Amino acid sequence: MHSSLNRLQTTFGFFSTCAFTLAGIIAVLSLIPIPTPTSQPSAVIKPREVQVVKGRPHYYSAKREEYAHIRFDLDADLSPLFTWNTKQLFVYVTANYPAQKGNDQSESVIWDSIIPATATPWSWQSLKSTYFPDKKSLRVSKNKNKNKRGVESTTTALSKPGKINLKNQKPKYQITDPSGIMAQRQNVTLQVSWNVQPWVGALVWDNGYFGGRVGSWKNGRTGRSKSFDLPALKGSKPEAVKDPEGPRTPKAAEGKPITDI
């Protein structure tokens, strides 16, 4: 005869096994593009204004150093990445430039954003607002949905997430280098990258194995800008050629008269 504790442990183990199996099936099915997407994600990014300034890039910086400030234009359509198992999409822009030593490539994030998926009738937010409505939020929503005649509107306009249109966007983060020198760096490019975060399953990166299967970029330089060079330090003046012996007073009869030709 089993005790109540043994029965409770057996029941909990059975439901845990079922939940784990269901989660595994969902994770595998989410990697299969169902339904088949009719388009692929696309992005066009261009640098707008580039400056190199010397100072403290952050309030916690211990010393003054050179840092780059890059404004950009971004026009992207990442809506094909949203599926029935997508919780949110993490989008970020990196500045890639050759390292000062060696053939390595330095990569710095200058901007990022989280795009949540559109709420569905079966999402937690919709179920909560339906069965456990907040009186205050319900009163505000009713006032917003009333038209001029006082008739409540029951339809809501759903916009497809993933479309980004930024003009002269200010970066969130500055670009610094361990050497402290950023002026006149060459072959700098801006790259748009993304990370799909599902409700159940593994994270999918654009440069990973599953990224090429789920939502690969189009052929060509999609999501990457043309190469450009960082300008000279802002406010810097050209160095004057100085005499190593210092300023000298010309001796008598050493100067040459100026004659008009």
Domain ranges, ordered by start, for the chain: 38-118+159-235, 119-154
Residue 34: pLDDT over 90: no
Per-residue pLDDT averaged across 182-194, rounded? 91
**pLDDT of 186 strictly over 80:** yes
pLDDT at position 220 is: 61
pLDDT at 256 over 70: no
What's the whole-number average pLDDT of the chain? 77
Which of 95, 56, 69 lies closest to 169 in space, CA to CA? 69
pLDDT at 206 over 80: yes
Let me know: does 117 contact 84? Beta carbons within 8 Å.
Answer: no
Taking the complete model, does pTM exceed 0.85, yes or no?
no
For the cut 60, the answer to whether the pLDDT of residue 156 exceeds it is no
Cα–Cα dist 30/202, whole Å: 10
Q: 55-109 pLDDT, tens per residue?
A: 877 777 778 888 899 999 999 999 888 888 888 999 999 999 988 776 788 899 9
Residue 153: its pLDDT value, please?
36
Q: How much is the pLDDT for 184?
A: 86
